[in-house]
Amino acid sequence: MTIYDISEKAGVSIATVSRVLNGSANVSEETRQRVLDVIEKYEYTPNAFARGLGLNTMRTIGIMCADSSDLYLAKAIYYLERQLRENDYRCILCCSGYELDTRRESLDLLLQQKVDGIILVGSNYIYGQAAQNKYILDAALTTPIMLLNGALDAPNVYSVLCDDYTSVQEATGRMIASGIHDILYFYNSDSYSGKRKRSGYLNAMETHGLEPMQEFFAGNHEDISGMTEQLLRLHQNGQAFHGLIAADDTLALAAVKYAQTLGMQIPDDLSVIGYNNSILAQCCHPELTSIDNKLEALCQHLTDTLMDVLTDNYGIKNTMFSGDLILRGTTKAL
């Protein structure tokens, strides 16, 4: 017997069962009794992650991110915290790092704080192997799990993300249409989002009968000098390219520095497209063309969905937004 079986037999949502288990006042007496009758009949005992009977909602949401110094993640946390506060919810933030064990520990810590929901910020929380995602599924047995820019098809897990695949595919296609065929894809992550971006680039190149060119940067996400040096080594090894599409704006900024180091003219000698449309896009000269992944809209929709789930309005399971290419000075007319 699981919380899902109880919701089915009682004819209520998983969120309602969770509120009854937590002793929330936001449940009618009739509904509460119906759930309790099912629990008693089937002798259901909440698992180790479940919150005890008789406890009231803490009106607190747990937020997890891998690294709060990352520009994208930091901005997402700002939007989420602001929107949750507007809904009279507080936040507890855990920076979990990138190791699976520390992520499990961080998630357990938030569950012990009896949070009403948990938001996982960033696609790097979703692994390719099902067994590695089990810690998320276990947490979802008692607490709604919201994924920002990741997707996982599981009960009580809700996903809000940007269509990274199509965004990069279309940006690559527009650069090709401008007459540039030797386009390098510069990336630094094999996360769920990272794989989708890379697939979009590969599809566009292959569709136009062009040879893909890819370069992976394994260093720190703040090491713009290291990124620039890596591109310079490509040049020294005879790797020529007149277009570059980057998986984020930091990588794109390194490409601008690379071009300037070699005395190249942007965009005549090198066209550059970044991703995230962050503040970095306006911190270089010329200003950076970048894909806007609608981060604020994603955070707003995720918060709205979570509020629907917590008030028993059955939130939308999966929502995908389209990205927009914001044209600036690092690209020719596309």
User: For 217-253, what is each residue's pLDDT tens digit?
Assistant: 999 988 999 999 999 999 999 999 999 999 999 999 9
Domain limits, CATH 3.40.50.2300, in the chain: 60-162+295-321, 164-292
DSSP letter (8 states) at residue 115: -
pLDDT in tens, 42-67: 776 554 334 433 344 678 999 999 99
Q: Which of 143, 160, 164, 170 is nearest to 76 (CA)?
A: 160
| Widest distance between CA atoms in the chain | 77
Q: What pLDDT, on the 0 to 100 scale, is given for residue 1? A: 61
pLDDT in tens, 255-309: 999 999 999 999 999 999 999 999 999 999 999 999 999 999 999 999 999 999 9
CATH 2.40.50.140 correct for 164-292: no
Residues in a beta bridge with 152: none
CA gap 12, 295 in Å, rounded: 33
Which CATH class name applies to 60-162+295-321?
alpha beta
DSSP letter (8 states) at residue 13: -
pLDDT in tens, 253-262: 999 999 999 9
**Cβ burial 30-67 (10 Å sphere, 16+ → b, else e):** ebbebbbebbeeeebebeebbbeeeeebeebbbbbbbb
Residues in a beta bridge with 213: 184
CATH 1.10.3720.10 correct for 1-57: no
Domain limits, CATH 1.10.260.40, in the chain: 1-57
